Amino acid sequence: MHASPRRPWVLAMIVAGVAYAVIGAGSAALDDTVWANGWRPWRLAAWVASAIVGVAHIAYEHYRLLSRPRRTALHASGAVALGAFGMALAANVHWLLATTRPPRPPLLALPLFPAVTAIPAFLAAFAVAAAITRLSRRRRVA
């Protein structure tokens, strides 16, 4: 896909998707180092960082690109699906490079991760974008 000046949402979706994948893979790599303690700080940090990426992406779509809630939700869920595919790809690469591994690779993760994450992401992004749109209209009227 080519992100032309008329389609800046493509670049935003790719950047957010890569950010989700890096956050997820990075937190999983860091989390292995603290497993002995039983405390999962990197997972919590990954949730917070992913939430920040999501809110920033929705705000960019709404305020900068002036997208409607449905389009904003489609683009945001596309970014989540792209990030989930990146995580599934990382899981398969990890399986290939691991010294001890389960007998089968996690190939089903490649189509399932994006599908399972995109639907709730669409619903959440639509709700947030619709709320922002409603609040923005109230400010203009008042």
What pLDDT digit, counting tens, does each position of 102-122 carry? 788 889 999 999 999 999 999
- Residues 14 and 74 sit within 8 Å (Cβ to Cβ): no
1 within domain boundaries? no
81 within domain boundaries? yes
106 within domain boundaries? yes
55 within domain boundaries? yes
3 within domain boundaries? no
DSSP state for residue 32 in the 8-state scheme: G
2 within domain boundaries? no
State the pLDDT confidence band at 3, using cuts at 50, 70 and 90.
low
34 within domain boundaries? yes
User: Quick one: CA dihedral 121, 122, 127, 129, positive or negative?
Assistant: positive
3-state class percentages of the chain: helix first, strand second, coil last, to nearest 5: 80, 0, 20
Burial class (CB within 10 angstroms; exposed 0-12, middle 13-18, buried 19+) of 108: exposed
Instruction: Share the mean pLDDT of the chain.
Output: 87
Q: What range defines the domain where residue 41 resides?
A: 8-137
What pLDDT is stored for residue 125 in this prediction? 97
62 within domain boundaries? yes
- What is the pTM assigned to this prediction? 0.85
Q: Is the pLDDT of residue 140 over 70?
A: no
pLDDT, average across residues 55-80: 96
When divided into structural domains, the chain yields a total of 1
